[in-house]
Amino acid sequence: MESFATLIANRRSTRKFTDQLLSPEQVELILKAALMAPASKRSNPWQFVVVEDKEMLKTLARCKANGSSFLEGCALAIVVLANVMESEVWIEDASIASIYMQLQAEDLGLGSCWCQIRNRQTEDEMDSSQYVRNVLNIPYQLEVLSIIGIGYKDQVRKPFDESHLQWEKIHLGTYKVPEEKENNQK
C-alpha cells in the first residue's frame, strides 16, 4: 500500500479514460469517501448525483465553454451539489467532498478530474450551474459546485514534480513580503 504522501504526489488530473466501467464496489468506496468528508458543524449540506449514462455524460460535457469536454469520456461523473440553506460554508464542505472522492479514486488506481461549475458559463453564456440544474432536475435551493469525472486512466502522467513546490508561499512565524524574505537570506 502506498503512503499518503505518494498518493497525493501521484494524483494528477486525468482527462483521458478507457471505456472500462467501474465496479459497484469501486463506486461505493468513492461515494463513501464523499459521505465521510468533514463538514462544518456536521451539517452535511451536500447531495451527489451519480451519472453513468453515456448520453447524459455527453450532455454534461457541454456544461461549460471550456474545460468540461473530458466528461464525455469518463466512466462515471459525480455531480456535487450543496444546499445553500443548510450551510453558510457549503462551498468549503462541497469542495472537501469533491477532493475526497478524487483521492479515493486515485487510491483505487483510477483517474479523475474536477470540472468547475460554480461561477462558470456555457458556450452560449448560460450559467453552467443552471445548465446542470436543468439537465438533472435539480431544485433551486441546491447549488452545483463541481462535477468529478472518474474512470480508468488512458494517459500516463508524471507524479507532481517537487522542484515546482512553491516554498516561497510558506511563511514562518509571521507573513513576510518577498523583499523581507530575500533580506533574511543575505
Ligand X SMILES: Cc1cc2nc3c(=O)[nH]c(=O)nc-3n(C[C@H](O)[C@H](O)[C@H](O)COP(=O)(O)O)c2cc1C
Q: Which residues bind ligand X (CB under 6 A)?
A: 12-13, 15, 67, 70, 113-116
Cβ nearer to ligand X, comparing 13 with 20: 13
18 Cβ neighbours under 8 A, 6+ residues apart: 151, 152, 153, 154
d(CA 52, CA 158): 28
Comparing every residue's Cβ against ligand X, the nearest one is 67
What are the phi and psi torsion angles at 148 (to 5°)?
A: -100, 115
**Nearest distance, CB of residue 182 and ligand X, angstroms:** 28
Cβ nearer to ligand X, comparing 67 with 72: 67
**Nearest distance, CB of residue 79 and ligand X, angstroms:** 13
Cβ nearer to ligand X, comparing 34 with 113: 113
Contact (Cβ atoms closer than 8 angstroms) between residue 77 and residue 48: no
Q: Which residue, chain included where needed, has cell 450551474?
A: 129
Q: What is the CB neighbour count within 10 angstroms for residue 110?
A: 22
Cβ nearer to ligand X, comparing 48 with 70: 70
Q: How far is CA 82 from CA 89, 90, 168, in A?
A: 10, 6, 34
**Nearest distance, CB of residue 95 and ligand X, angstroms:** 7
Cβ nearer to ligand X, comparing 127 with 176: 127
**Nearest distance, CB of residue 59 and ligand X, angstroms:** 16
d(CA 52, CA 75): 6
**Nearest distance, CB of residue 110 and ligand X, angstroms:** 14
